[in-house]
Amino acid sequence: MEGKCVIDAANLVKIYQNGTEELKVLDDVSIKVLAGDFMAVLGPSGSGKSTLMNILGCLDVPTSGQYSLDGFDVLKATENELAEIRNKEIGFIFQKFNLLPRLTALQNVMLPLLYRGQPEAEALALAREKLTLLGLEARLGHRPNELSGGQQQRVAIARAIVGNPKLLLADEPTGNLDSKSSEDAMQIFKELNEQGNTIVIITHDVEVADQVKKLVYIRDGKLYENH
C-alpha cells in the first residue's frame, strides 16, 4: 500500500567501545521509508552508512533509539523473531553478491525459500521465474564463478526478491560492477520499484544516488535531507 510506513526509525545512536574510548558511529539518526519509496542513503566511507544498513536490516541493534519495521517494534524482538524478519520481510543485496560458490544460480535463489520451509518444487518454480525475469534463464545451472559480475548481481537480486519481501536493502550494489553492469542493475531496481517494491540503496556513488526518487545524506554519523 502506497504511503504506509515501512521503516520508522527515530534517534538511533550506535556507540562502539574501543578500550576506554567510545566511538559514536550513528549520532541521533531518524529516518522514515514509505511503501513504494526508492531511496538512497549517500555517504563517504566511514560515514556510518553500513552501520545504519545493518540496523535497518535487523543484523545489528542500536545502542539507543527506536525502530519499527512495518509497525513491528524490532528492538523488542527475540533472536528467532529477528531471523524470521530477515528471512521473510527483507531482501538483501550486497556489494560482494554473497552467493554460495558451490550452488548453481537456481539453488542460490531457492535457498531463502527452503529456509522458511517452502516445498522444494514451489521454491524451484519461483526461483526459475525470478531468474527468467532478470534474463538469466540460460544460466540457471551455472555456478557463481561461471558468471560475470553483472550476472552474479542479477542472481543476488533474484534471491533478494524471490520471497516478495516488504523491503529491499541494497548495500553498494554497483560497487563491484563495471559501468555497463551498474547501469543494468540500476535499471532493474527502477523496474522493481515501478512494480511496487520498496527499495533503499546504501551507496557512496553519486551517479547511483542521482537515479533514485528520494535522497538522504549521511556524514559523520548524522543524516541530512539536503547536501
Domain ranges across the chain: 37-61+85-224
User: 214 or 19: whose pLDDT is higher?
Assistant: 214
**For the chain, where are the alpha helices, taking DSSP H only?**
49-56, 79-88, 105-115, 120-133, 149-161, 179-194, 206-209
Three-class SS of residue 204?
Answer: coil
- pLDDT, average across residues 148-158: 90
- pLDDT, average across residues 133-154: 91
Is a pLDDT exceeding 70 seen at residue 8? yes
Give me the pLDDT at residue 2, please.
53
Tell me what percent of the residues of the chain surpass a pLDDT of 90: 62
State pLDDT tens for residues 23-50: 899 999 999 999 999 999 999 988 999 9
- 159: amino acid identity, one letter: R
Degrees (nearest 5) of the Cα angle 172, 137, 86? Answer: 40
Q: Which of 210, 188, 187, 214 is nearest to 200 (CA)?
A: 214
Question: pLDDT confidence of 1, banded at 50, 70, 90?
Answer: very low
Is a pLDDT exceeding 60 seen at residue 227? no
Is a pLDDT exceeding 90 seen at residue 57? yes
**Residue 124 CB neighbour total at 10 angstroms:** 18
Q: How many residues appear in the chain? A: 227
Give me the pLDDT at residue 95, please.
78
C-alpha–C-alpha distance, residues 185 and 174, integer Å:
7
> Does CATH place domain 37-61+85-224 in 3.50.30.10?
no
Question: pLDDT confidence of 150, banded at 50, 70, 90?
Answer: confident
C-alpha–C-alpha distance, residues 24 and 46, integer Å:
11
Answer for the pair 192, 223: CB distance below 8 angstroms, yes or no: no
Give me the pLDDT at residue 19, please.
86
User: 37 or 176: whose pLDDT is higher?
Assistant: 37
Phi, psi angle pair for 106, to nearest 5°: -60, -45
Question: pLDDT confidence of 179, banded at 50, 70, 90?
Answer: confident
- pLDDT, average across residues 90-98: 85
Three-class SS of residue 139?
Answer: helix
